[in-house]
Amino acid sequence: MKTQLIAVSAISLATALATPAWAQDGAPVADAREEPEAEGQRGSEFDEIIVTGRAGTSDLRKAEASYAVTTLSDEALRITNPSSAAETFKMVPGFWVESSGGEGSNNVRARGIPTDGYSSVALQENGISVQYDGGLGYLNADQSFRFDETIARVEAVRGGPASIYAPNAPGGVVNFITRKGSENPGGLVKYTWGNYGLNRLDAYYGTSLGDNWGVFVGGFYRQSDGMRDMGFKAEKGGQIRGTIDYNDGRNSFALDIKHIDDKVPFYLPVPLTYDADGDIADVPGFDSRSDTLAGGDTRRVDILNVGQPYDFDLSEGTHTQLTQVTLTGSLALSDTLTLESRTRYKDADILRNAVFPTGNVTPLDEYLASLSGALAAFPGATELRAQYASDGSVLTSTTNGNGLLIGGNLLSVSVPIEEIITDNRLVAEIEAGGIHNLALGFTYGSADFRFDRYMGTSLLDVQGNARFVDVVALDANGDVVGSVTDNGFLRYGSIYDNVSMGAENIAIYGGDEWQITPELRLDAAARWERTNINGVVAQKTTVSLGDDTNLADDNVLTGSGAFTPVDRSFDDWGWTIGANYQFTRYAGVFARYTDTFRLPSAGEYNGNPERTDQRSIPIKMAELGFKYGSPVFDLFATAFYSKFEGVRFTNYRFNEETNQYDDPQVVIADTETLGIELEALVKPADFFDFAVQATWQDPQYKGFTYTDQAGNLIDYDGNQLIRVPKLALRAVPGVNLFDGRLRAELEVEHYSDRYPDIANNQTLPSYTQLNINVRGELTENLVLGLNVTNLTDELGLTEGNPRAGSFDSGDANADYFLARPVFGRTIRASLGFKF
């Protein structure tokens, strides 16, 4: 979103800049916007200086970039008040974001990327990755990040040079740039209330120490019931950061220390059905916008295991305990040569506990009939009965208002990780047939982590805060002679992993930005990277815990005592070349071609240490862009193409009969995407503006054919990539009143049809969501904010049921199915005091 408030921030920045390289030596002046602007008149975001996706000594204005980049200013972030990192991605064209999982563990895709999480999009703080591998198997990069008032601005680069200057970033880099005392003196105390039990306090203070030094401290603390009703305090915790920085104009230094201790829930798909018209509707007794299956019954449970029971505590949610130390700086070795260094050390313990609904939503009678074979396990048994595990009361088809049952995996994953990342580069400016900005860099990343996973599969009824259900076997007299379940569990130990792994990465890269003429610039860069993956993975065995009165403990997965070593190495290299031509200061075109890669992740070996199908994935990308700015109209338009070659697609399907995942089928195929991104801002008057961000793309599978277990040849060539819409549109009309002291926006988000399976057999229908943002300065110091999300309580689905199969969903054409909707209407109001 680009607003009047955003544009105003560019005035002071633009006046402080030296004349850019292209405009030196008598370069033509052909745009009225180059004339000095009167105080209070709009400036242009085209003059913002870009630091992400490049390496060089000279300032680069956004208008001159030879790649697609979106900037989110302090004003844009403050009025939208995003609740998570993923929410900020919605303001960037080219990204498809699923933020319905909560504050952490969301999915981000860019320009047809066929992988989930942050595996191909780098999440950065101050130019260095929060996590070297952002898709490290159940450890998404956003679990180690919290958005708060200490973030000053954001730069988002799609494709292009992102994969050269950052690891694991073929889809792009989103760089969150924090405040510094030397640059952002002053302070803020802000209280936020939300209609879901939210109470949050943000605060920061920064000041200069003399001419060159600055200090800054800030953070937040909050509690809430969660965006869905969990029945207990689901969010609790916060973060604090402190920074000291130095900048004398030639040399700079910053030490940033951040600590997070925060619990947030991870929201999963919920049951849904269809109404008489065939439209998606709520299951009776379950509000898909605010309810969740997790709740009191599943909050604190002992999951039986070999030896001591596993203490499953759902109130832990995704619990991040992290300390991060970042040291950045630049040293001028001469007038033309500079050494830049960024180093980050992270020590984190991240736990994720959640209830994953699995299998199919099934009417009670049908479910009991499917278990008829279990009667043979109990001599004398003649029938099965469902009853609540907590009190033994009988469950019938009318007890809970819908008579439905669902499997629920109580999954706990612990990933302690210690990581260091250092990126060091020499940058120089020389004259030789024009001006060259040269960079030569070296990146090293080392991570040691554990991956401990344990799960029990339970049986739940379908209601908000679902209850455990037992299935008991009765004899002819109606007496209980055995039980299929135990305290609501169908199977203890349905997943078990014990992994100790290390990943060591080195990369060498170099680039040249060559200003040939004031109007024309060429740039080229290349990267070579190698990853070494070493560790051990526990071998598994199945045991019985010895209770003959139930079936739940008969097949418990546990470690055998033996371990399988992992020792793999992969390397590859990629390159990019681009050109930018400026017709005027605020109009130009660019073109770029990139041939890059994505190396295998250490997380791919967590459950399968002997796999041999991993290799570097070749990625080819091209883009052609146009940018134009005037006092009334700004436009960025980028056409793009991407191709991923030899991607491994795995079909995970949870088997309700065995209560474990079937052996997955793997298909190797390509993906290919053509599309266009648009960012436009119309500002006909000071009191009104209209911003649009839009992405249209045609993401397809190529060569996706395989033979299924029945021997049938399946061909999904040309099908649409799962979960990615062809059209994503965000339109924002805004008004500015009282000399800009009050701004109000209406956000209109629209997403076209998507599919949760590669077969495209199940449709996630298009939906439109409305949001309202208001920010007003009551006085010079007091600021009031209001954010209403999903104003009309729209039912929009972002994800299907991955556990029903990603190739051909088992939920397709069923009366009941699982999907993850966007959150219902939420209201947040804030009052801030600036000083």
Question: Would you state the structure tokens that stand for residue 99, as one six-digit string?
Answer: 């933020």
- Split into its structural domains, the chain has a count of 1
Q: Is the pLDDT of residue 8 over 90?
A: no
Residue 835: the pLDDT is 95
Taking a C-beta distance cutoff of 8 angstroms, is the pair 806, 799 a contact? Answer: no
pLDDT digits (tens, 9 = 90+) for 552-585: 999 999 999 999 999 999 999 999 999 999 999 9
H or E stretch at 365? helix 364-370
Tokens of 488: 């609501």
Question: Model confidence over 60-107: pLDDT tens digits?
Answer: 888 898 999 999 999 999 999 998 888 998 899 988 888 898 888 888
- Sign of torsion over alpha carbons 154, 21, 595, 422: negative
On whether residue 98 sits in a domain, the answer given is yes
Q: Is the pLDDT of residue 35 over 80?
A: no
Q: Which domain holds residue 340?
A: 4-356+412-463+485-602+614-834
DSSP bridge pairs for 504 = 446, 532
Q: What is the pTM of this model?
A: 0.91
Task: Identify the band that residue 204 occupies on the pLDDT scale cut at 50, 70 and 90.
Answer: very high
Rounded Cα distance between 437 and 523, Å, is 9
Q: What is the pLDDT of residue 4?
A: 37
Per the domain annotation, does 470 fall within a domain? no
- Mean pLDDT over 764-771 rounds to 96
DSSP-H helix ranges across 1-110: 4-16, 74-80, 85-89
For the segment 5-25, the average pLDDT, to the nearest whole number, is 35
Q: Note the pLDDT of residue 541.
A: 96
Percentage helix, strand, coil for the chain under 3-state DSSP, each rounded to 5? 10, 55, 35
Could you tell me the CATH number of the domain that includes residue 633? 2.40.170.20
Mean pLDDT lowest among 4-13, 468-477, 822-831:
4-13
> Residue written as tokens 């049921």?
801
**Is residue 218 one of the residues assigned to a domain?**
yes
pLDDT tens by residue, 318-365: 999 999 999 999 999 999 999 999 999 999 999 999 999 987 899 999
Please tell me the distance from the alpha carbon of residue 378 to that of residue 384, in angstroms, as a whole number.
11
For the segment 797-804, the average pLDDT, to the nearest whole number, is 87
Could you tell me which residues are beta bridge partners of residue 340? 330, 425
Given a contact cutoff of 8 angstroms between Cβ atoms, the answer to whether 834 and 781 are in contact is yes
Chain position carrying tokens 């954001």? 154
Per-residue pLDDT of 585-643, as tens digits, reads 999 999 999 999 999 999 999 988 998 989 999 999 999 999 999 989 999 999 999 99
User: pLDDT band at residue 44, thresholds of 50, 70 and 90?
Assistant: low
Note the pLDDT tens digit of each residue in 458-485. 999 999 999 999 999 999 999 999 999 9
- Position 526 in a domain: yes
Given this model, what pLDDT does residue 741 score? Answer: 95
- Is the residue at 788 inside a domain? yes
pLDDT (0 to 100) of residue 210: 83
Alpha-carbon distances of 339 from 166, 192, 247, rounded to whole Å: 18, 42, 14
Residue 808, in any domain of the structure? yes
**What are the pLDDT digits (tens) for 283-311?**
999 999 999 999 999 999 999 999 899 99
User: Is position 390 within any domain?
Assistant: no
Residue 38 is predicted with a pLDDT of 35
Mind listing the pLDDT tens digit for each residue in 236-279?
Answer: 999 999 999 999 989 999 999 999 999 999 999 999 999 999 99
Rounded Cα gap, residues 51 and 62, in angstroms: 10
Predicted confidence (pLDDT) per residue in 362-418, tens digit:
999 999 999 988 999 999 999 999 999 999 999 998 888 899 999 999 999 999 999
- The residue written with tokens 């992740």 in the block is 601
> 81-115 burial by CB neighbour count: b if 16+ within 10 A, else e?
bbbbbbbbbbbbbbbbbbbbbbbbbbbbbbbbbbb
- The overall average pLDDT reported for the chain is 91
The gap from C-alpha 374 to its chain's centroid, in whole angstroms, comes to 42
| Res 21: pLDDT | 40
> With pLDDT > 70 as the criterion, what percentage of the chain qualifies?
95
> If you write DSSP's letter for every residue of 409-472 in order, what string do you get?
EEEEEEEEEEEEEEEEEEEEEEESSSEEEEEEEEEEEEEEEEEEEEEEEEEEESSTT--BEEEE
Instruction: Report which of 669, 728, 739, 678 is spatially closest to residue 698, judged by C-alpha positions.
Output: 728
Asked if residue 651 belongs to a domain, the reply is yes
| CA–CA separation, 91 and 737 (whole Å) | 23
Residue 24 has pLDDT above 80, yes or no: no
Phi/psi at 127 (nearest 5 deg)?
85, 10
